[in-house]
Structure 1
Amino acid sequence: MERTVLANEIYQTAHLTGTFTLRSGKVSNDYFDKYLFESAPGLLREIAEHLAGLIPSDTEILAGLEMGGIPIATALSLKTGIPVVFVRKKAKEYGTCKLAEGTEIRGKRVCIVEDVVTTGGQILLSAQDLKHHGALVRNVLCVIEREQQGRDNLEKAGLNFLSLFTMEELIAANLSSY
Structure 2
Amino acid sequence: MMDAAARRQLAADIDAAARLTGDFVLRSGARANEYFDKYRFEADPRLLKRVAQAMLPLVPPETEVLAGVELGGVPIATAMSLLSGWPTAFVRKQPKAYGTCLAVEGGDLSGKRVVIVEDVISTGGAVRDAKARLDDAGAITIAVICAVWRGGGPAQIEGLDLPVLPALTLDDLKAASTR
Return the TM-score normalized by structure 1: 0.88
Unaligned runs of 5+ in 1: none
Unaligned runs of 5+ in 2: none
What secondary structure, in the 3-state scheme, does the structure 1 residue paired with 2:58 have? coil
- Of Structure 1 and Structure 2, the greater helix share is in 1
Q: Structure 1's 49 and 153: CA in aligned 2 closer, same or farther, altered over 3 A?
A: closer
* Letter aligned with residue 173 of structure 2: L
Following the alignment from structure 1 to structure 2, what is the Cα–Cα distance between the partners of residues 43 and 152?
26
Q: What do you get for the CA RMSD once the two structures are aligned?
A: 2.1
Question: In the comparison of the two structures, how many residue pairs are matched?
Answer: 173
Greater Cα offset, 9-18 or 80-89: 9-18
**Alignment pair present for 1:14 and 2:18:** yes
Matches of residues 1-178 of structure 1 in structure 2 within 5 Å?
2-17=6-21, 18-22=23-27, 25=28, 27=30, 29=32, 30-148=34-152, 151-154=155-158, 156-175=159-178
Residue identity (%) = 42
Following the alignment from structure 1 to structure 2, what is the Cα–Cα distance between the partners of residues 139 and 111?
5
Structure 1 stretches of 4+ moved >4 Å: 26-30
Following the alignment from structure 2 to structure 1, what is the Cα–Cα distance between the partners of residues 100 and 154?
32
1:88-137 CA deviation, whole Å, 9 max, x = no partner? Answer: 11111211111111122111011011111111011101101110110001
Return the TM-score normalized by structure 2: 0.88
What secondary structure, in the 3-state scheme, does the structure 2 residue paired with 1:153 have? coil
* Letter aligned with residue 34 of structure 1: K
